[in-house]
Amino acid sequence: MTGQPGGQQPGDAATRAADPRPSALTQRPAAAPLPGDLPTDATIHRMIRVDHAGEYGAARIYAGQLAVLGRSAKADLLRHMQEQEQAHLDTFNTVLADRRVRPTALLPFWHLAGFALGAATAVLCERAAMACTVAVEETIDAHYTAQIDTLAESDPPMRDTLEKFRAEEREHRDIALANGAEQAPGYRLLSAAIRTGCRIAIRLSERL
Ligand SMILES: [Fe+2]
Ligand SMILES: [Fe+2]
């Protein structure tokens, strides 16, 4: 009546642990986690989730800025940066699918919040838009640097991708600094507020 239970049988876990076949979730060898660490795959999945969210938000920020400044003298610069953000996002869309990582549940919120941040700073003035770029890109630079240090040699393809993107984020920061970011009215306050918002967005997107 009850039939053979479909649950785990004694020895199953040991059999799986000894199974040399690679995980279906990733194509790279597993590294042994240190005591207290999350399993390496879980750590990397969180990285991918938050990086995808960040690139999504960045693309939306530039879309918001271009909605306001699309006919201004800064439009070509903004389009250049938006195109690179879109390439970053396209890469993380592929990585999400390949490694079977779910995106953050907050994407609909970042869709609106990113555009609103970009448009609002652009409405203030071009230099405020550039100040937004410096704050966002410096936060992402620090975030990618921490991830690159964490990955070290455990996932070279991911690390190489992050190093390439970090170089482009730094280029965006330099473009914004060269275009008057620090001369924006209320620069320090604006920058501090955006940096805080970015750090909160990172923490939320890792977890949700
Ligand atoms: Fe980016
Ligand atoms: Fe960027």
pLDDT band at 206 (very low <50, low <70, confident <90, very high): confident
1 CA distance to ligand 1 centroid (A)? 58
Query: Is the model more confident about 12 or about 188?
Result: 188
Nearest 5°: the CA angle 39, 207, 89 is 95
Write out the H or E segment, with its range, that includes residue 12. Answer: helix 12-18
Percent of the chain with pLDDT over 70: 81
Q: Is the pLDDT of residue 174 over 90?
A: yes
Digit-coded pLDDT (tens) for 8-23: 444 444 444 444 444 4
- Sign of the torsion angle spanned by Cα atoms 202, 60, 79, 73: negative
23 CA distance to ligand 2 centroid (A)? 33
203 CA distance to ligand 1 centroid (A)? 17
Give buried/exposed letters for 121-139 (b at 16+ CB in 10 A, else e): bbebebbbbbbbbbbbbbb
The pLDDT of residue 197: 87
Query: Exposed/middle/buried for 27, CB within 10 Å: 0-12, 13-18, 19+?
Result: exposed
Question: Residues whose CB is under 5 A from ligand 2 (ion)?
Answer: 169, 172
CA distance linking residue 149 with residue 1, whole number of Å: 56
Q: Is the pLDDT of residue 52 over 90?
A: yes
CA distance linking residue 5 with residue 143, whole number of Å: 47
Digit-coded pLDDT (tens) for 73-100: 999 999 999 999 999 999 999 999 999 9
The structural domains of the chain, ordered by start, are 39-207 (1.20.1260)
The pLDDT of residue 50: 93
Residues with Cβ < 8 Å from 49, sequence gap 6 or more? 96, 101, 102, 103, 104, 205, 206
Digit-coded pLDDT (tens) for 191-205: 999 988 888 888 888
23 CA distance to ligand 1 centroid (A)? 29
Which ligand sits closest to the CA of 174? 2
